[in-house]
Amino acid sequence: MAAHGNTEGTAGQTAAARTGAPVVLQVVPALETGGVERGTVDIAEGLTAAGWGALVASSGGRLERDLDRCGAAHVSVPLATKRPLALRRNAGRLARLIDSRGVSLVHARSRAPAWSALWAARAAGIPLVTTFHGTYTRGPFGIKTPYNRVMTQGDRVIAISRFIARHIRQHYHTPPERLRVIPRGVDLRRFAPEAVSEHRIARLATQWRLPDDAPVVLMPGRLTRWKGQTLLIEAMARLNRPGVRCLLVGSDQGRAGYRRTLEELIARHGLGGQVHILEQCDDMPAAYRLATVVVSASLEPEAFGRVPAEAQALGRIVLAPRHGAAPEIVESGVSGWLFEPGNAVSLADHLALALDLDEATYDAMAWRGMMQTRRAFSKEAMIRQTLAVYRELLDGEPPAAETLWRDPA
């Protein structure tokens, strides 16, 4: 059962502790929402399924109940803070937690908690794994580089894409023998065509008042400038196809000013009947299946790209910018298309290509994208490869070949 609030409590010895199985402690700032948090829960689920002990320390959040359901434990520690003295206090809390729960290995997934985890793991003499989830702002003259560098201090450093692995090597010079590449995983039980009923798709179409048989361009993602909603609106204006509907699905998370900017841009181009801003959807698999084309238009390189991977898993054609990790997911002209980043003309041209596909060609491209995601980006593969990293450090097992990084020639 989940434990809450007491970082030094020993109540409820886990089955792993009784059998001598390893116990892995993951540390994250909070457990509200997001890819980092979801990945933390996925790994906890994989650990408990393997008979290991799974423990997560964070300041808490909605995903705690998911940990409870999979048999992992949560301990509340104020790890969201970045204040130096608080980081030291948290290191002490984690050290006591490591001792009281018999922790075998610590896995840190964010910079502030990683500092506390580094000090605690080193004091306890146990291995530390870090996951590098983004490029992290280095600041003017690289002033933040020393702070970011903690994410490279693990005995193993996991990069969530080859793009991130190149970034780590270029800016932090982490030795390749410590570097492992493990992409984020898509839950293929949820994100699969056969898992989404026609009723769910029809319910969304009715809720969003979509005309029958109208082609739908879908762009999921929170409303923030770097996600590129303005770029897609400009592309829709250039596309000039009144029968196409474009859905921007995501919360503004309090960015009311940016939402107004989008609404004004839609009105300026006369797209009020075509482009719609919708609040966060509670059934994204059905939303993907409702779409004809799914767009990721990030203006800055993404560390992985959850949207392209999920959309491909559901058999949808994806358009994504030719930067970041997108080229690792979308094979241009084969499973979708890559357009020039920040270029509305390029995006509009590729929208036209995708919308003009005949049914047989569309199905063939979509199938290739679905197979690519199932092969390389499943949640099961992510869990298997991550546990292999743990076994490297705890049991001296050889690394999984597919996770090794070799610098490009």
The CATH number linked to 294 is 3.40.50.2000
Do residues 150 and 112 lie in contact, with contact meaning Cβ atoms separated by under 8 Å? no
pLDDT, residue 12, reads 34
The answer to the question of residue 318 being in a domain is yes
Residue 5 has pLDDT above 60, yes or no: no
27 within domain boundaries:
yes
Task: Read off the tokens for 98.
Answer: 């490591």
Based on the fold, state whether residues 86 and 214 are members of the same structural domain. no
CA dihedral 303, 155, 105, 386 (to 10 degrees): 40
Lowest mean pLDDT among 130-144, 169-183, 198-212, 325-339: 130-144
Looking at the structure, do residues 181 and 227 belong to the same domain, yes or no? Answer: no
Same domain, 96 and 201: no
Give the whole-number percent of the chain exceeding pLDDT 70. 95
What is the overall mean pLDDT for the chain? 92
| 146 and 227 inside one domain | no
- Cβ atoms of 4 and 11 within 8 Å: the answer is no
Q: How many CB atoms lie under 10 A from the CB of residue 98?
A: 24
Say if residue 45 is in the same domain as residue 104. Answer: yes
**208: containing domain:** 193-376
On whether both 217 and 358 belong to a single domain, the answer is yes
> With 60 as the cut, is the pLDDT of residue 14 above it?
no
Beta bridge partners of 53: 23
Whole-angstrom Cα distance, residue 33 to residue 35?
A: 7
Which H or E element spans position 26? Answer: strand 23-27
Q: How many structural domains is the chain composed of?
A: 2
Is residue 56 pLDDT above 90, yes or no? yes
Residue 106: helix, strand or coil by DSSP?
strand
Task: Give a yes or no: residue 10 inside a domain.
Answer: no
* Band (32; pLDDT cuts 50, 70, 90): confident
| Position 145 confidence tier, pLDDT thresholds 50, 70, 90 | confident
Q: Determine contact, residues 178/202, Cβ cutoff 8 Å.
A: no
295 shares a domain with 391 = no
Position 359 scores a pLDDT of 96
Work out the pLDDT band at 408, boundaries 50, 70, 90: confident
pLDDT of residue 254: 78
Is 409 within the bounds of a domain?
A: no
DSSP string covering 187-214: -TTTSSGGGS-HHHHHHHHHHTTPPTT-
Question: pLDDT by residue (tens digit) across 177-220?
Answer: 999 999 999 999 999 999 999 999 999 999 999 998 899 999 99
How much is the pLDDT for 134?
87
Question: The pTM is what?
Answer: 0.91
Residue 6 included in any domain: no
Where would I find the H helices in 278-378? 284-290, 306-313, 326-329, 344-355, 359-376
Average pLDDT over residues 218-234: 94
Q: Is residue 357 situated within a structural domain?
A: yes
Q: Are residues 169 and 73 in the same domain?
A: yes
224/151 same-domain check: no
Residue 257 domain flag = yes
Q: Do 199 and 326 belong together in one domain? A: yes
| Same structural domain, 247 and 177 | no
Assigned domain for 198 exists: yes
Q: Are residues 123 and 219 located together in one domain of the fold?
A: no
